[in-house]
Structure 1
């Protein structure tokens, strides 16, 4: 629910803070006092487009803040608008996009003004209303649709790929053949490069090996022979000084290494042979490897990885026909499953729509639309497959006849603004509360004063709907109740119709927090909390303020609404009677949200809590009007 609203520097509002209550909150005031600005401020919190023209003259920026209570936690939403038209939104002090703000706020509160009523004229919204009224579960249909859509998208992808599959398959086969014929080996290019270097210098390598071997063994001054003389003298030195002993001990190892070197030089030299043919073969192989690396590399390892990838792709291309066939079977099964659950949902919709139309007619009759007839018309056949959706295979539209003898026509071609407001209120009353009486669907029929529940219809009358709501008010109200804002719901009505509209709004307050801007005292008298919006001029500037009315204030304001600026004792008496009529009780108090009081307790109670309802004494409501 919307617990707190602060508006700063918006239009004629300098600074206003209001703490709302659960149930029905009514806002009244003279025309032009600024009631629509509060609605506009809430619209900005809901993500409406912001304009710099909304900023109060002479100020740099406007700010709207709201605290919502949901799930036992507080959620702070803030919107800032500069005079240049720039806007920023914050959720719990974290920057948020306008789209995210709109999505979040729409889950917390719904705004129903003349503009919002226009959504009722869009037939695409009517299906959701039927589902909400009937408490119908669309989740199985949505799940089946997701599976069907997944199969369809994958099937489309494969079939689109099949168009150029043949050309792709030829290219992949050619490239793979080129790589496989090359019979690539890891690090082969490095090995061949080393071999080429040796072959290119074969004569020099052979000569160096022969000379080195001769120096070790065969020449007159052979190293190994000379070392023999050296070791004998070192051994004599070691006998005289033990510090030479380590060298004596190492002589066998040194001798062995030199002998190994000599042996390797001889063998290596014998294998070296200048071979122009072999060198040419290596050059050609290296050229092939370089070409493949440029085409598939740039390294030999990457070229080999590309070969493996081409093998897999060719396998997929060759097996795509089997996959398409299997996916077509899956798609057919998913299509059948979707149609099964969608048709079951469609049958339920058609069943509950009859009840919906009948109850709308009864409630509309109470709202001064006695001759109005409703019908919800479905498409005769399921919609075409491209139009299937997560909501099913149905299209439905409200048809209305507002006058006797007139044929039913689409709602958009019939209803006036005032009628739309009342139809929206009737729909909200029914959809918001349908689950309250659904658990009582098997109860025995109870006779109603207006002829009510008939044995043949099984549908509760308008009086029954509102009465049952009154019975569950205390149980369902609380901080978690979502919010509804109604602006100009009283357009074009009065008298008994206004009384029923007020009762319907109070009934909605049993499960929702309702904020209603009204000009009618019959509606204002039903409020759980009554706020007065006033405009005055201070120091040459227009100021708008909001204050919550106490009992005496409510009497004065409803008296003004009944008779104008001159409030007489007769008007006050009528206001008291109207309040007592809508909140009956054994005491003399007029507030709906507290018990009866002794006559002498009024002054004391109001002196300690002026401007507050006693239900809020544990946590007094805040209504502040301030200027920086």
Structure 2
């Protein structure tokens, strides 16, 4: 449930801290006092879009925090766990919106995206605006209401997913049949291309090795001549480096006896002589193995030429040939699966059957639920002064679609003896508002969201009907937390908690305030709602009667 709402510098609210009770809470106030500001602020904390100026004039930002208790809200707990957000004693959603339109969101102190706040918010609060009854005329809304009431949300989602899978395979098969000749030509071309690339036996690692080998073989004569010259200088000539270093070594041995400081130099010469001898042996070993191999050189050059020829043919670099082969093989496998009409057709058939099985389950559930919902709404219509009226959910078979195997239409008869007709053809504004409210109250009892907010959904009704609406909301408040913004005293008097919105002028600025009313203050507010500007003892007496005090 919603425990508290904290607002700072939001539109015409400078500072507001509200705590909410369980059950039915009402919010009232003069027209223009800012009753909907509370809902707007809460909506932003729940991830709503920021569509206008939010920060109060002269302030650099607005700061809104909503605190919830989710002890019994498993869906919200699971969402927090899935998103690796710690759950403290309470759940706090905070939104900071700057004057330039930028915003930041936080869930339990952790920085988060607005989309994440919106996802979580769907498990916390349902908000019904005063224009919600207009969406009731849309087929999609009617279907959604029926599926929500039947708790078919997951099943309907599966039906949509399976339809998309089947439709994709169906479209694919038709395309294969239409383009069979083109696919066959492409497949033949790919097979030739793949065969040529495989015969090349190319790999990037081998390509680098063979280039190095070619460089060595192509310069074999120069390599051998250079090696022989180096070996001669090191060891073979009458005057060579090894011999000269040996002479230096012998000289230094005697000199070290005269001055020990020459020991390091002598050691370095010893090391140099050892390294020269090792280098000489290594060069000799290499020279003994090295040989000119014109046949191998020709073989390597032919392979390199073949690689370059294929690269030019397919407009690729040699380094890209391995990837090109993989691409060809992948496309070949795809086309070969297309060519196997039986396999593709079977996939399509299996997908269609899976869709139909789920869609039939959805249809059966809708049919059963349609009867229950029709009866419940028809009963509520009698209570809402639509005497003799009848509500009916009509299901009509249609072609398979993402929405299932039928269309959903809400039909209504305003009074006895009239055949129910589509809602958008017969319902007046007042009737539509009452039917919408009946639907909200009836379907809400099946929902899992613990807090419901009604923003002036009682527009267009009054008198005894308004009293019944208040009773319905009070009844709903016994099961859920309900917050209602209303201008009707018949509705407000049914609430367990009463909040009042007022507007004041301060330093040339208009500020909105919200306070919880005491029993005495509540009598005055209900009397104001009943009698207008001038409150009399009669209106106070009437207010007390409505409040049962």
Range moving further from structure 2, 101-110 or 280-289: 280-289
Write the distance in 2 (CA, Å) between the matches of 1:318 and 1:111.
51
Aligned in 2, Cα 1:313/1:497: closer, same or farther, shift over 3 Å?
Answer: closer
State which of 398, 401, 405 in structure 2 corresponds to 1:382.
398
State which of 495, 502, 513 in structure 2 corresponds to 1:527.
495
Aligned in 2, Cα 1:48/1:288: closer, same or farther, shift over 3 Å?
Answer: closer
Q: CA deviation at 1:398?
A: 1.1
Matched, 1:495 2:517: no
Aligned in 2, Cα 1:116/1:411: closer, same or farther, shift over 3 Å?
Answer: same
**Corresponding residue SS for 2:479:** coil
Contact 2:452 2:480 in 1 (8 A): yes
Matched, 1:105 2:73: no
Which segments of 5 or more consecutive residues in structure 1 lack a partner in the other structure?
A: 222-257, 436-479, 581-589, 591-628
Q: CA deviation at 1:206?
A: 13
Aligned to 1:393: 405
List per-residue Cα deviations over 1:27-49 (Å, max 9, x = no partner): 12233322232233334344444
Write the distance in 2 (CA, Å) between the matches of 1:98 and 1:314.
41
State which of 273, 288, 296 in structure 1 corresponds to 2:306.
288
Matched, 1:408 2:420: yes
Write the distance in 1 (CA, Å) between the matches of 2:462 and 2:227.
120
Range moving further from structure 2, 146-155 or 416-425: 146-155
Contact 1:26 1:517 in 2 (8 A): yes
Aligned to 2:92: 76
Aligned to 1:150: 165
**Corresponding residue SS for 1:492:** coil
Aligned to 1:198: 220
Would you say how many aligned residue pairs link Structure 1 and Structure 2? 490
Q: CA deviation at 1:100?
A: 3.7
The aligned runs of 1:471-620 (5 Å cut-off) are 482-580=450-548
Write the distance in 2 (CA, Å) between the matches of 1:322 and 1:485.
57
Matched, 1:320 2:337: yes
Aligned in 2, Cα 1:533/1:508: closer, same or farther, shift over 3 Å?
Answer: same
Write the distance in 1 (CA, Å) between the matches of 2:25 and 2:318.
74
RMSD: 4.4
The aligned runs of 1:332-371 (5 Å cut-off) are 332-371=349-388
Aligned in 2, Cα 1:351/1:51: closer, same or farther, shift over 3 Å?
Answer: closer
**Corresponding residue SS for 1:121:** coil
State which of 192, 217, 221 in structure 2 corresponds to 1:174.
192
Q: CA deviation at 1:172?
A: 2.9
Write the distance in 2 (CA, Å) between the matches of 1:146 and 1:61.
43
List per-residue Cα deviations over 1:197-254 (Å, max 9, x = no partner): 336889x69999xx99xx89xxxx9xxxxxxxxxxxxxxxxxxxxxxxxxxxxxxxxx
Aligned in 2, Cα 1:194/1:522: closer, same or farther, shift over 3 Å?
Answer: same
Aligned to 2:440: 428
Q: CA deviation at 1:180?
A: 4.5
Write the distance in 2 (CA, Å) between the matches of 1:43 and 1:343.
37
Aligned in 2, Cα 1:49/1:418: closer, same or farther, shift over 3 Å?
Answer: farther
Write the distance in 2 (CA, Å) between the matches of 1:360 and 1:144.
27
List per-residue Cα deviations over 1:244-297 (Å, max 9, x = no partner): xxxxxxxxxxxxxx99999998x879x869x7x886666445433454567665
For normalisation by structure 1, the TM-score amounts to 0.66
**Corresponding residue SS for 1:382:** strand
Write the distance in 2 (CA, Å) between the matches of 1:207 and 1:38.
95
Q: Which has the larger radius of gyration?
A: 1
Aligned in 2, Cα 1:317/1:396: closer, same or farther, shift over 3 Å?
Answer: closer
Aligned to 2:260: none
Q: CA deviation at 1:65?
A: 2.5
Aligned in 2, Cα 1:261/1:363: closer, same or farther, shift over 3 Å?
Answer: closer
List per-residue Cα deviations over 1:563-595 (Å, max 9, x = no partner): 344444444443333223xxxxxxxxx5xxxxx
Contact 1:346 1:394 in 2 (8 A): yes
Aligned to 2:250: none
The aligned runs of 1:235-314 (5 Å cut-off) are 283-292=301-310, 298-299=318-319, 303=321, 305=322, 309=326, 312-313=329-330
Matched, 1:122 2:138: yes
Contact 1:159 1:324 in 2 (8 A): no
Write the distance in 1 (CA, Å) between the matches of 2:49 and 2:365.
39
Aligned in 2, Cα 1:95/1:420: closer, same or farther, shift over 3 Å?
Answer: farther
Write the distance in 2 (CA, Å) between the matches of 1:263 and 1:109.
85
Range moving further from structure 2, 497-506 or 35-44: 35-44
Q: CA deviation at 1:426?
A: 0.9
For normalisation by structure 2, the TM-score amounts to 0.74
